Amino acid sequence: DTAVSQTPKYLVTQMGNDKSIKCEQNLGHDTMYWYKQDSKKFLKIMFSYNNKELIINETVPNRFSPKSPDKAHLNLHINSLELGDSAVYFCASSPRSGRGSTDTQYFGPGTRLTVL
């Protein structure tokens, strides 16, 4: 009965490789997000999607490409991985934003990406 799940939990790869992280939510939420947490634990939003439509793109290099096949899934594909991409990536979801919404975001367990 996991609410927001991510796979894989750990990902170790070489520079220059392409990798994907998958996220699924079974909460029926319309909006999903990707956050990056760096080595100093600072959290920053990368993208958000609402019902499969890209809403927020926070000056992230275009090597990062989110894809939302349906509103329950938001995957993150990263091309040509660099050392600086090493971080923990969190997926989150929230109910439809709008009047009366309190925008609580529910987070997945995170994917620790290590680029060697």
Partner 1 sequence: AQSVTQLGSHVSVSEGALVLLRCNYSSSVPPYLFWYVQYPNQGLQLLLKYTSAATLVKGINGFEAEFKKSETSFHLTKPSAHMSDAAEYFCAVRKGSGNTGKLIFGQGTTLQVKP
**Which residues contact partner 1 (rule: CB under 8 A)?**
4, 31, 33, 40-45, 48, 50, 55-56, 58, 90, 92, 97-98, 102-110
106-107 vs 4-7, strand pairing mode? unpaired
The DSSP 8-state label assigned to residue 2 in this structure reads -
Q: How far apart are CA 105 and CA 20, in angstroms?
A: 22
Nearer to partner 1, 50 or 75 (CB): 50
Nearer to partner 1, 51 or 79 (CB): 51
Angle at 34 between CA 59 and CA 69, to 5 degrees: 105
Report the residue count for the chain: 116
